[in-house]
Amino acid sequence: MAIVLMIIHILISIGLITVVLMQQSKSEGGLSGAISGWSQHAKARYGIEEKLDKFTMGLAVAFFVSSLVMYLIYPMFS
C-alpha cells in the first residue's frame, strides 16, 4: 500500500513539474517577448493556457492531498 501511494505521489509530482514548465510566462517583457513578439501568440492560445492553469491547480491539490495521506498513513507501515 505504501509503495502504491509513493508511486502515485511521484507520478503526480512529475505531472505537476511538466505542466508548470509547459505554461507561458505571464510577463510580456523580457528578451523573448522583444525578439519573437510572443505576446500576440500567447493571447491567441488563451484557451489552452486557461486549461493548463486549471490542470495545474488540480495537480497541486492532488499533490497536497497525497502528501497529507502519506504523512498520516506512513507511521502505520514503519
1 inside domain = no
Q: Which residue has the higher pLDDT, 24 or 3?
A: 3
pLDDT above 70: residue 16: yes
For the chain, how many structural domains are there in total?
Answer: 1
Separation of alpha carbons 30 and 4, rounded Å: 43
Q: Is the pTM of this model over 0.75?
A: no
Written as one letter, the residue type at 6 is M
- For residue 28, the model assigns a pLDDT of 54
Range of the domain at 45: 37-78
DSSP state of 37: -
Written as one letter, the residue type at 38 is W
Separation of alpha carbons 5 and 50, rounded Å: 29
